[in-house]
């Protein structure tokens, strides 16, 4: 009898209850056998709903949690990796464990994620899923369009300049966030430690030679201008636009330097112009993306998933 491959996710989350339950409900319906949710800040409504579900494991990472391990890391990226590694090493309950964020959603194509993972050779230890980034709806509402980019840096740079005429030369794939994607790691190796985009073993970083081309990582990084602005200052100081985060050498500036220059040049109005050109699903941008094969139409329907899986949470 062929063994059924199981997969699960680990995520460290600080978010409102609705966002946490959207993330969990969507992936449970997708087939996640186990969700390991580490709450960076307690959210009682989400915690109660998750603990009532048999496939969820919830940990509140409060002072007592960190006191049993080590001093609480100051940077949230370090807390993420510590929690992800703990979940991996403490009986994750699945054959493959992925490490993603609360605003990231897996979208397999015609072949299920479990089947894609089952098809990998036994010596493959990691599998990468490439991201696509949400575009804001011009009239508001949940995103329906996502943008992708070329997986190789050289062609990506050329295409990005064509797709984004004003800012393309200064962007990596036209994305505001990562283009690296996230990985699944085969479980069962005690020495493995997880990072944000990679995993390490006793001999160093595990090879990331395999992409799961049949699945996309839908990233709701900036799904509306207001949502982007709510997270903007934190990201600029300590998150995905922080000063020490470098991009590829072929892109002449960092996101931190780019946004700082835009603000110095024109303030919030200039930031809005940037967002409208790069992050909004205008007909013009959609046409340019489609011409390069990087336009994706996807309805995640998160509210419906949350209502079905967690009806008691409202």
Structure-token match 């419906």, residue found: 304
User: Could you give the percent of the chain with pLDDT greater than 70?
Assistant: 99
**Cβ neighbours of 184 (radius 10 Å):** 30
DSSP 101-130: -TTEEEEE-SS-HHHHHHTS-TT--EEEE-
Mean pLDDT, rounded, for 204-214:
95
- Per residue in 73-104, pLDDT tens? 999 999 999 999 999 999 899 999 999 999 99
- Per residue in 100-116, pLDDT tens? 999 999 999 999 999 99
Predicted pLDDT at 98: 99
For residues 224 and 136, the answer to whether their CB atoms sit within 8 Å is: yes
> What contacts 87, CB < 8 A, 6 or more positions away?
10, 36, 38, 57, 97
For residues 170 and 253, the answer to whether their CB atoms sit within 8 Å is: yes
Mean pLDDT, rounded, for 286-306:
98
CA separation for the pair 28, 22 (Å, rounded)? 10
> Is 1's pLDDT higher than 80?
no
Question: For the chain, how far is it from start to end, CA to CA, in angstroms?
Answer: 41
pLDDT band at 2 (very low <50, low <70, confident <90, very high): low
List the chain domain ranges.
1-112+182-203+211-216, 131-180+223-314
pLDDT band at 313 (very low <50, low <70, confident <90, very high): confident
> Is 177's pLDDT higher than 80?
yes
Q: Mean pLDDT across the chain, nearest whole number?
A: 96
């Amino acid at each position: 009898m062929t063994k059924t491959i199981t997969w699960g996710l680990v995520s460290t989350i600080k978010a409102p209850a609705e966002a946490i339950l959207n993330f969990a409900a969507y992936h449970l319906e997708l087939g996640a056998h186990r969700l390991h949710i580490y709450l960076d800040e307690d959210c009682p409504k989400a915690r109660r709903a998750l603990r009532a579900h048999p496939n969820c494991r919830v940990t509140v990472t409060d002072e007592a949690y960190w006191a049993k391990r080590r001093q609480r890391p100051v940077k949230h990226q370090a807390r993420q990796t510590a929690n992800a590694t703990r979940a991996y090493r403490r009986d994750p309950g699945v054959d493959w464990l992925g490490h993603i964020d609360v605003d990231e959603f897996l979208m397999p194509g015609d072949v299920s994620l479990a089947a894609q993972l089952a098809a990998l050779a036994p010596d493959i230890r990691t599998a990468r899923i490439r991201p696509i980034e949400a575009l804001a709806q011009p009239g508001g509402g949940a995103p329906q369009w996502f943008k992708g980019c070329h997986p190789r840096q050289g062609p990506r740079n050329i295409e990005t300049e064509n797709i984004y005429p004003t800012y393309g030369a200064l962007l990596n794939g036209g994305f505001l966030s990562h283009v690296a994607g996230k990985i699944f790691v085969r479980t069962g190796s005690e020495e493995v430690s997880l990072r944000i985009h990679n995993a390490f073993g006793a001999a160093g970083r595990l090879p990331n030679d395999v992409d799961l081309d049949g699945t996309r990582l839908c990233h709701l990084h900036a799904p509306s201008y207001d949502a982007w602005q709510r997270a903007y200052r934190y990201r600029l100081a300590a998150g995905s636009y922080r000063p020490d985060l470098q991009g590829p050498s072929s892109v002449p500036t960092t996101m931190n330097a780019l946004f700082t220059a835009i603000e110095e040049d024109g303030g919030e109005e200039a930031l809005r112009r940037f967002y409208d050109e790069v992050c909004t699903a205008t007909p013009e941008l959609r046409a340019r993306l489609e011409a390069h094969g990087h336009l994706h139409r996807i309805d995640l329907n998160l509210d419906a998933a949350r209502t079905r899986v967690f009806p008691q949470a409202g």
